[in-house]
Amino acid sequence: MKRRLLLVDDELAILLTLKAILELNGFEVETAESAKEAEQKLRAGEYHMVITDMKMEHDRAGYDVIRAAKATKYDPAIAILTAFPSLGSEWKNHGAESLLVKPVGTKELLMQLEALLIRHEDKKHRVKANLKAPATAGDKGDGHAVKAS
C-alpha cells in the first residue's frame, strides 16, 4: 500500500520537484499551494503524512495547516519544510513532529520522512495499546486506583 502524503508549498517549482521525488520513491502525493487549499484537502481525504511550508499566505501559514491536520480523525505525521530554520522549538509546540530545512538533499529527505513515519506509527500504536489495556485489580478502569479495604 502506498503511503499518501499531502505536500503544501506556495512555490510551484519546489512543489513539483518534491512531488516527483516522492512519487519516484513510492509515495502517493497530493499537493496544495496554500494553507487554505491544504485545509480543504485535509477535510476531503486521508493522509499518512503532511509536509507544509511555513511562509505562504502569511509568515505562519504552516501553523494553520498543522492545526487542520491535528483536527482530523486519521492523525497524520506532520513535518514543516522551511528555508527559515530560526523557529527554535516553537514548531514542536504547534504540533509538528519534524523540521525539514530547505534545501534538503533527496537521500536525507527520504531518510527523515521514513524516520518520521516510523516514530509516528509507533506512537499511534502505543496510544492504541494503552486505550485497549484491560483494567488491573484495584483499578476502576478510569485510571484511578481503588483502595482495598
pLDDT, residue 117, reads 93
Per-residue pLDDT band for 148 (boundaries 50, 70, 90) equals very low
Q: Is residue 139 part of a domain?
A: no
Range of the domain at 71: 3-132
- Above 80 in pLDDT, residue 146? no
How large is the average pLDDT for residues 118-130?
A: 85
pTM of the predicted structure, to 2 decimals = 0.81
Q: Is residue 145 part of a domain?
A: no
> Would strands 49-53 and 27-32 be described as parallel, antiparallel, or unpaired?
unpaired
What CATH code is carried by the domain that includes residue 101? 3.40.50.2300
- Above 90 in pLDDT, residue 16? yes
pLDDT, residue 2, reads 85
pLDDT, residue 101, reads 85
Q: Is residue 16 part of a domain?
A: yes
C-alpha triplet 98, 100, 106: angle, nearest 5° = 125
Q: Is residue 54 part of a domain?
A: yes
Q: Is residue 128 part of a domain?
A: yes
- Above 60 in pLDDT, residue 141? no
Q: Is residue 137 part of a domain?
A: no
Q: Is residue 108 part of a domain?
A: yes
How large is the average pLDDT for residues 74-86?
A: 87
Q: Is residue 148 part of a domain?
A: no
Three-class SS of residue 116? helix
How large is the average pLDDT for residues 70-78?
A: 94
Split into its structural domains, the chain has a count of: 1
The rounded percent of the chain whose pLDDT value lies above 90 is 62
Q: Quick one: three-class SS letters along 37-96?
A: HHHHHHHHCCCCEEEEECCCCCCCHHHHHHHHHHCCCCCCEEEEEECCCCCCCHHHHCCC
